[in-house]
Structure 1
């Protein structure tokens, strides 16, 4: 379950601090109390994981000065002010400065709880978005998100590192749900433009006139055209196959006018094209050759072997933490079915099934096999035509079992030996064979 966010209660009256803290603590909040703004500022800083509830009338630094200090430090920090009846105009001014909301004394405790819940939700969203932006700017973090030890994923990571440094236009193709947008972000983050802007737009989400205005201007909303906004950085065009021929011509002109290396790097993503047509059929030949000189193909999940079990285990683990329940234990038969499934929706489909498996497990009903069967009824044959030797299935299941157990016991070799009934030497040999290292779990 998500950890309770903090609520800092700042008030010079001890009884008021105690009553607010007690009420919010009973409502599930993690409360901290401070007798003055100065005392609170010693603890509260940018990225502080919570919200602030403060009185306006306090000796020394009052609530308004405190608010200005907090907003100057982190404008996304929710601050709820408590005001007396005569201070309402001051509270309205505080809202203009950046306060989240205010409560007039005497206030309803339930109203306090409601405000605190909304404020903590807003804070959590702000912090999550900041963390996501940091991740999208950190090439090493993004590369770690490309999970898997299969040859296909090793090649993909090598391609990203090579083409990221090349700084030329890139075309990304592959089936739906294979992580093409993540690859585009990684290409930008590992290259020389990592500190510059990464601007993305879907060519399928807008009509031709709207898309032309967004890309090249003049923009109806007064914002810079995306071509200008991305100048010096990367412009990511999703659904490139949907770009009309007139706009393809304008894009080609822009590319031809740029020098080498290009002023703005173009990363084009193809999200879907007809089975009997290639992307080359959908684009002007001259544009295709300019964009497709460097191409990355994201591998389908069915071609990634035991990565399927690794991804399923990681997704199940994340959802079990989110929902506060145990992850389902995958049987040998279910592992074989996961490995054999066609996965037309690729990683996206696998993550959806993992979430449903966790929810089923929380209710104590259903199985992974039933989820796969239900999905396959809607997506085609239940198994791929490519068979594998039994030894490969056994080894994949064995690796998944050791990996899951090591994660559950946080790298405790003794606990893993006891659960799997393995002597230390055998466990060490199998971990070495599968490339599993204890330090990765501690």
Structure 2
């Protein structure tokens, strides 16, 4: 269950404030009250996680002035105004200024709840989109999303930091579900073009004529063609293998006209090609060599060892928080099954299984093994994964167990020692062995 959003209630009449607060609290909202607009402005900011309910007629700063100040602070903040009968024309004007809606006294409390629910849904969407935009422009945040301590992931992060600083075009290849789009955003966000446009389009999502219009113009809606919109920044072409030969030729012309260093960087993502072919066979050779001067190939999940357990733990914890329940505890047998699974859908498949495992755990039924079996049967013939020595499975499970326990106890060494029945020296040695630091959990 999603966390309750806040409602800030602003009214100079104490009885009205408390009445609205009690009613909305009973409806599941987290309320806070203010006796004046001036006080409310001290407690609100541009990322206030909720909505505002305010009277229009108040001493000092009135509701209309308050609304204008809120809109200048955050135009995406929903504000519900409460009006007297004679204030309706003013409330209509407030809607033009940016108010979400208004209620005329005396109002039906159920109508208040309905409006608050609609407003909070809008606010949650606004904040989620805002957070996503920040993440996609913040190289540090994006790099943290590339979870894993396996050698292939360490090397991937190093490659992103190195290639991100370069100007050359980049080709990203790898199996479906490995996170290629995330890597493309990270390449842009850690480089010199971070503050400029990042424009993306899927070459597989449009017909040849539509794609030609969108990429090179003239666009049907009169907008700039994407090669112009991305000028000075990055143009990300997903499903580059779907680009027809005539459009490959036009793209090559655009690249050749840019000179060195290129004004617009192109990041091309290949999402699927036949197992017995390479991108060099799919693309024109001259285009391939222009785009593939720098190449990143993402590792499949099955090659990433104990990263699988780390990812599963992080994802199941996130879903457990979202659904308001406990994350499933992974047994030694389930840990081995997760490590041995072929993961044809890679990280995307793991995220789906983690969510379903949390939902199963909430119902008190099912197992991770059954989810893996059903998923792999639905995926068709499974890829094979090499067996590992027993020692590797034991160490991966041990690391996951200590990591999970440290997270649950927020870095309390004493609590972890007691739960795992380990002396302090042994726990310290194992944490050092697995690269775990108490500071990461406090």
Task: Determine if contact 1:241/1:272 at 8 Å carries over to the other structure.
Answer: yes
Which residue in 1 is equivalent to 2:197? Answer: 197
Deviation at 1:389, TM superposition (A): 0.8
Q: Does 1:224 align with 2:224?
A: yes
Task: Determine if contact 2:399/2:434 at 8 Å carries over to the other structure.
Answer: yes
Alignment of 1:264-413 (within 5 A): 264-380=264-380, 384-413=384-413
Alignment of 1:99-114 (within 5 A): 99-114=99-114
* Runs of 4+ off more than 6 Å: none
Structure 2 stretches of 5 or more lacking a match? Answer: none
What do the CA deviations read for 1:372-422 (whole angstroms, capped 9, x no partner)? 111121224568341111111111111111111111111111111111111
Deviation at 1:341, TM superposition (A): 0.6
Task: Determine if contact 1:150/1:306 at 8 Å carries over to the other structure.
Answer: yes
Q: In structure 1, what is the Cα distance between the partners aligned to 2:424 and 2:5?
A: 42
Q: In structure 2, what is the Cα distance between the partners aligned to 1:47 and 1:211?
A: 37
Q: In structure 2, what is the Cα distance between the partners aligned to 1:373 and 1:103?
A: 54
Name whichever of 85-94 and 200-209 sits farther off: 85-94
Q: In structure 1, what is the Cα distance between the partners aligned to 2:181 and 2:152?
A: 17
Task: Determine if contact 2:302/2:385 at 8 Å carries over to the other structure.
Answer: no
Q: In structure 2, what is the Cα distance between the partners aligned to 1:113 and 1:88?
A: 20
Task: Determine if contact 1:50/1:120 at 8 Å carries over to the other structure.
Answer: yes
Q: In structure 1, what is the Cα distance between the partners aligned to 2:266 and 2:177?
A: 21
Deviation at 1:229, TM superposition (A): 1.4
Q: How many residues align?
A: 442
Q: In structure 1, what is the Cα distance between the partners aligned to 2:59 and 2:22?
A: 24
Name whichever of 286-295 and 98-107 sits farther off: 98-107
Task: Determine if contact 2:248/2:284 at 8 Å carries over to the other structure.
Answer: yes
**What is the DSSP-based 3-state SS (H/G/I as helix, E as strand, rest coil) of the residue aligned with 1:144?**
helix
**What is the DSSP-based 3-state SS (H/G/I as helix, E as strand, rest coil) of the residue aligned with 2:43?**
coil
Which residue in 2 is equivalent to 1:439? Answer: 439
Which residue in 1 is equivalent to 2:421? Answer: 421
Task: Determine if contact 2:344/2:382 at 8 Å carries over to the other structure.
Answer: no
CA RMSD of aligned residues (A): 1.3
What do the CA deviations read for 1:197-255 (whole angstroms, capped 9, x no partner)? 11111111111121112111222222222111111110111111111111111110000
Which residue in 2 is equivalent to 1:122? Answer: 122
What do the CA deviations read for 1:139-159 (whole angstroms, capped 9, x no partner)? 111111101011111111111
Alignment of 1:66-85 (within 5 A): 66-85=66-85
Task: Determine if contact 1:373/1:382 at 8 Å carries over to the other structure.
Answer: no
Q: Does 1:12 align with 2:8?
A: no
Deviation at 1:296, TM superposition (A): 0.3
Task: Determine if contact 1:342/1:381 at 8 Å carries over to the other structure.
Answer: no
- Calculate the TM-score normalised by the size of structure 2: 0.97
**What is the DSSP-based 3-state SS (H/G/I as helix, E as strand, rest coil) of the residue aligned with 1:320?**
helix
Alignment of 1:32-51 (within 5 A): 32-51=32-51
Task: Determine if contact 1:340/1:383 at 8 Å carries over to the other structure.
Answer: no
What do the CA deviations read for 1:334-368 (whole angstroms, capped 9, x no partner)? 11111111100000000111111111111111111
Structure 1 stretches of 5 or more lacking a match? Answer: none
Q: In structure 1, what is the Cα distance between the partners aligned to 2:20 and 2:252?
A: 62
What do the CA deviations read for 1:24-57 (whole angstroms, capped 9, x no partner)? 1111212122222222112222112221111122
- Calculate the TM-score normalised by the size of structure 1: 0.97
Q: Does 1:173 align with 2:167?
A: no
Task: Determine if contact 1:233/1:265 at 8 Å carries over to the other structure.
Answer: yes
Q: In structure 2, what is the Cα distance between the partners aligned to 1:383 and 1:135?
A: 33
Q: In structure 1, what is the Cα distance between the partners aligned to 2:382 and 2:127?
A: 41
Q: In structure 1, what is the Cα distance between the partners aligned to 2:46 and 2:328?
A: 38
Alignment of 1:254-273 (within 5 A): 254-273=254-273
Q: In structure 2, what is the Cα distance between the partners aligned to 1:102 and 1:205?
A: 42
**What is the DSSP-based 3-state SS (H/G/I as helix, E as strand, rest coil) of the residue aligned with 1:166?**
coil
Distance 1:82 1:343, change over 3 A: same
Deviation at 1:137, TM superposition (A): 1.2
**What is the DSSP-based 3-state SS (H/G/I as helix, E as strand, rest coil) of the residue aligned with 1:42?**
helix
Which residue in 1 is equivalent to 2:60? Answer: 60
Which residue in 1 is equivalent to 2:145? Answer: 145
Q: In structure 1, what is the Cα distance between the partners aligned to 2:309 and 2:266?
A: 34
